[in-house]
Amino acid sequence: MTGDAEHGATISPRPLAADLRSADNRDCPSRTDFLGAALADVVGGPVGRHALIGRARLMTPLRVMFLIGLVFLALGWSTKAACLQSTGTGTGDQRVANWDNQRAYYELCYSDTVPLYGAELLSQGKFPYKSSWIETDSTGAQQIRYDGRPAVRYMEYPVLTGMYQYVSMALAKTYTALSKLAPLPVVAEVVMFFNVSAFGLALAWLATVWASAGLAGRRVWDAALVAASPVLIFQIFTNFDALATGFAMAGLLAWARRRPMLAGVLIGLGAAAKLYPLLFLGPMLLLGIRTGRLRAWGRTAAAAVVTWLLVNLPVLVFFPRGWSEFFRLNTRRGDDMDSLYNVVKSFTGWRGFDPKLGFWQPPTVLNTVVAVLFVTCCAAIAFIILTAPRRPRVAQVVFLVVAAFLLTNKVWSPQFSLWLVPLAVLALPHRRVLLAWMTIDALVWVPRMYYLYGNPNRSLPEQFFTTTVLLRDVAVIALCALVIRQIYRPDEDLVRWGGRVDDPAGGPFDRAPDAPPGWLPDWLRPVGSRRASAPVPEDADEQPALAP
C-alpha cells in the first residue's frame, strides 16, 4: 500500500519491489571492480559513498550503454568499410563492391551479406524460397550431387532471416530507383543492401543491450560489456545473427517480468530467425520441474511453437522445397573449419568420421557423433539443474546449453559467438574473465582471414588459425567450468549478492522453493528434497521369538 488513508491509499496487487537505488544496493563497478575503477578515473573517479543511485534523468545507465554500443557498432561497420567501396560506372544496379584481389581477406572486411546478395538471387529481386539456382564450382561449371542429380540450391536461411534480407533488398532497390530520379549519391546496390541490413542489425543489438540491462537486476552495469564486447568489432555485421539475439534476449526479459506468453512469442520469433533460441526451453523446463512451476513454462513453450509455426507455415505451404533448404543444408554440411573436429584434423592428419563422401553427401557418422555428444552434455546439465544444492539461475543454465551446442556442433561460424555474449555476461559477471574470452574470440578472425587469403607469400598456415580456434574453445570451456563451480558454490555468485538476491532473470522461478514431483527419483532431487528412507529397527537382525 502506498499513500495514507486521508489522501487515498493505493493498494498494490503484488508486493512492491525493493528500492535498490543507493550505492549500498546497486553494484557500482567504480567501487567493486578493478577495471571499473580504472575506467572511472578517466571520467572523474568512483561514485560517492552517499550518492543517490538511479535518479539521473539524462545520463541513465541504459543511455550510457547505448552510447557505448553505438561506438562499438560504428567500429564494427568500419571494419567492413574497406569491402564497401563501389566500383564500375553507371547506376547503382550497374556497380559492384570492390572485392578485387581477395580484398575481403587481407583487409579483414569479409561479410556474408555482400556475396549472398548475388548468390541467392536477391540482386535480381527474386523472392526467397521460391527461386532456385544450380551450384557451380570456381570455374563456373554446374555441380552434380553424389547421386547424379544437379545441385539445386534455395535460400539457406530460416524464414524470418530470409524475409529480413528480402525487405532489405527491396529498400536497397528503392534507393537505386530514387538515385536515378533525384540527385542522390550513386552507390552500388549491394553496398546499399549491406547498409540497410546493418542498420537493422545495429538496432537489434541495441535491443540486446536493453534486454541484458533489464535482466541484470542490481548489476545493471554488467550489460555494458554486451555493448562494448570486442566480438562486435568483427562479427556484428558478418551475418544476420544479431536479429535472433535481439528476439532471444527480449524473450528472456519478458520471462523475467513474468509475462510468459510474450516471452514465448519473442523466443518463437528468435527461432524463426535462427533456431538456437529454442534451446532456452530445455533448461527452463527442468527448472520448472524442480520448482513445480510448470504452468508458466507451458504457456511460454506453446506460444513459442505457435509463433514459429505462424511465421513458417506460409512459406512451408507454398514453397516447401525452399523452406526445407535450411534443414537439408545443415544435414549435409561437413565439419566446418571453426569446429573442434577440424582442429583435431588439422593437428593430427585425421581424415574425419566420413572421409570419402561425394558432393553434398550427408556425413552420417559425423551427424550421429554430434547428436550423441550434445545429448550427453544436455544430460549432464540436466543432472546439475535438478540436483544442485541451490536452484541454478536461468542465465547460468541457458548459457551452459548454448555453449555445449556450439562446442559439440560441426559448425561454429564466427558470428555464432554473438549468441554467447549476453548469456555469458549474465551467467558469469566477472568482467576481466569475460574480456579475456571475448578478446580471444574476436582475434580468431585475423588468422581465419589470412588463412583463407590465397596469396602464398602473405597468407598464414592452417595451424595458426586452428590454434586460435582451440584457444577460444578452451576459454569457453573454462567459462562453463566457472559457471558450474558457482552453481555448486552459490556464495561465490556475484549476482546472488550473498543470498540477498535470488535470480533476476528467473521470473516465476525467482525465490521459488524446491518442489520436485513425486515421480522424480531421489538421485535426481536436490539433497534437501530427497525422501528419507524408513529407519531400520535395531533388532531387525534378531530372530523373532516362537509362540508358546
Give the model's pLDDT for residue 42. Answer: 60
Distance CA 247, CA 492 (A): 30
* Each residue's pLDDT tens digit, 523-533: 988 877 777 65
- State the pairing for strand pair 86-87/133-134: unpaired
Distance CA 201, CA 253 (A): 19
Judge contact between 293 and 255, C-beta under 8 A: no
Sign of the CA dihedral with 510 first, then 515, 521, and 522 last: positive
**Least confident range of 29-33, 282-286, 480-484, 527-531:** 29-33
Give the model's pLDDT for residue 23. Answer: 47
The model carries a pTM of: 0.90
Q: Nearest to residue 129, comparing CAs of 103, 96, 93, 166?
A: 166
String of DSSP letters for 386-429: HHSSSPPPHHHHHHHHHHHHHHHSS---GGGHHHHHHHHHHH--
Amino acid occupying residue 367 = N
* Mean pLDDT on 6-29: 57
Greater confidence (456 vs 450) lies with: 450
339 secondary structure, DSSP code? S
Checking if the pLDDT of 262 tops 60, the result is yes
As to burial, measured by CB atoms within 10 angstroms (0-12 exposed, 13-18 middle, 19+ buried), residue 312 is: middle
Q: Nearest to residue 470, comparing CAs of 359, 300, 339?
A: 339
* Each residue's pLDDT tens digit, 114-133: 999 999 999 999 999 999 99
pLDDT band at 53, cuts 50/70/90?
A: low
Amino acid occupying residue 459 = S
Checking if the pLDDT of 32 tops 80, the result is no
| Radius of gyration for the chain, computed over Cα atoms and rounded to the nearest angstrom | 27
Question: What is the distance, to the nearest Å, from the Cα of residue 443 to the centroid of all Cα atoms in its chain?
Answer: 18
DSSP alpha helix (H) spans, 319-363: 320-323, 325-332, 340-348
Distance CA 116, CA 128 (A): 12
Other beta carbons within 10 Å of 413: 17
Distance CA 335, CA 150 (A): 23
CB-based contacts of 542: which residues, under 8 Å, 6+ apart? none
Checking if the pLDDT of 103 tops 90, the result is yes
Give the model's pLDDT for residue 300. Answer: 98
Dihedral angle, C-alpha 191, 195, 201, 207, nearest 10 °: 170
Amino acid occupying residue 244 = A
CA distances to 112, 189, 291, 318 from 245, rounded to whole Å, are 18, 27, 27, 28
Sign of the CA dihedral with 151 first, then 364, 129, and 420 last: negative
* Each residue's pLDDT tens digit, 217-228: 888 989 999 999
Distance CA 506, CA 287 (A): 9
- DSSP reduced 3-state for 25: coil
498 secondary structure, DSSP code? G
Judge contact between 212 and 426, C-beta under 8 A: yes
Residue 147: φ, ψ to 5°: -95, 10
Give the model's pLDDT for residue 542. Answer: 47
Q: Which three cell numbers stand for residue 238?
A: 558478418
* Mean pLDDT on 147-163: 93
Judge contact between 194 and 111, C-beta under 8 A: yes
Other beta carbons within 10 Å of 524: 16
**Least confident range of 91-100, 327-336, 377-386, 533-542:** 533-542
Residue 258: φ, ψ to 5°: 60, 45
Give the model's pLDDT for residue 34. Answer: 60
